[in-house]
Copies of this chain bind each other. A is one copy, B any other.
Amino acid sequence: MDLFEALYTTRAMRRVSPDPVPEEVAAAMLDAAIRAPSGGNSQNWRFIVVTDPEVRSRLGPLYRRAWDRLRSTVYAGRWEKAQEAGDEAALAVMRSSQWLADNFETVPMWLMAFHRNDPSGASIYPAVWSAMLAARAHGVGTCLTTILGTFEHDSTCEVLGVPTERGWRLAAAVSCGYPLGRWGLARREPADRVAFQDRWGEPLPFAVPNPMWLP
């Protein structure tokens, strides 16, 4: 797959079928992940490929509790606001996020990513994103979630047997499966609205076509 096709069409793909993700795809995701650069080349990462139905059934309730916490705190009022404003894009994100919480156990594979001595996240998330791009090349949809780490860190690590006493922290739970929806270009606030030249607020001296790549 062309690099730019992957970069432009790997959007959050939450609704997936229960069909298993082949082991070759999991292997490709893991090997792509570890090729990413990390601070001082420390490679302070670990991954767990979760497919066992029993483990998924123990994590599902934790994920839903975390999702409920997110909805009642950070996302408080967001659903109602989006409904009032008729903001279909925001409603679509909320609905598919709700779907993922409701269907945690039927998602065939979750890739859990851990890090240590990486306070900014600058070393783990490029690796996680590489795994997601590799999945895309194999037709597997993914979604990077952080709510288990934010709201259910220790309970999740207990289920997975993570040695948190040695500094390991859950950075991401990535859902993986064959998409029920279609791949496509995500709409975004254009680059020239969010990028400046030399100083904050100074417009770029060049045009950025929106988008620069088309399928």
A interface list, Cβ under 8 A from B: 1-8, 10-12, 23-24, 26-28, 30-37, 39-41, 43, 45-52, 55, 75, 78, 89-90, 93, 97, 119-122, 124-126, 128-130, 132-134, 136-137, 143-144, 146, 149-150, 160-163, 171-172, 185-186, 188-191, 194-201, 204-213
Indicate which residue in B4, B149, B162 contacts A137 across the interface (CB closer than 8 Å). B4
A196 — which chain B residues lie within 8 A by C-beta?
46-49
Are B12 and A37 touching (Cβ within 8 A)?
A: yes
Give the nearest-CB partner of A54 in chain B: B198
Q: How many copies of the chain does the oligomer comprise?
A: 2
A12 — which chain B residues lie within 8 A by C-beta?
37, 41
Instruction: List 9 A-B pairs, minimum CB-CB distance, nearest first.
Output: A121-B121, A125-B125, A126-B129, A23-B206, A30-B191, A47-B195, A31-B212, A161-B200, A52-B198
Indicate which residue in B30, B146, B211 contacts A208 across the interface (CB closer than 8 Å). B30
A51–B209 CA distance with the chains assembled, in angstroms: 21
A23 and B205 in contact (CB under 8 A), knowing A48-B196, A200-B163?
A: yes
A48 — which chain B residues lie within 8 A by C-beta?
195-200
SS of A interface (majority): mixed
Are A43 and B129 touching (Cβ within 8 A)?
A: no
Are B200 and A160 touching (Cβ within 8 A)?
A: yes
A191–B144 CA distance with the chains assembled, in angstroms: 20
A45 — which chain B residues lie within 8 A by C-beta?
194
Are A4 and B134 touching (Cβ within 8 A)?
A: yes
A113 to chain B, nearest CB (A): 10
Are B206 and A31 touching (Cβ within 8 A)?
A: no
Are A195 and B49 touching (Cβ within 8 A)?
A: yes
A211 — which chain B residues lie within 8 A by C-beta?
31, 35
Are B199 and A160 touching (Cβ within 8 A)?
A: yes
A130 — which chain B residues lie within 8 A by C-beta?
7, 129
A133 and B7 in contact (CB under 8 A), knowing A125-B126, A172-B122?
A: yes
Contacts A/B (CB < 8 Å), 6 sampled: A4-B32, A27-B209, A37-B186, A39-B146, A126-B126, A126-B132
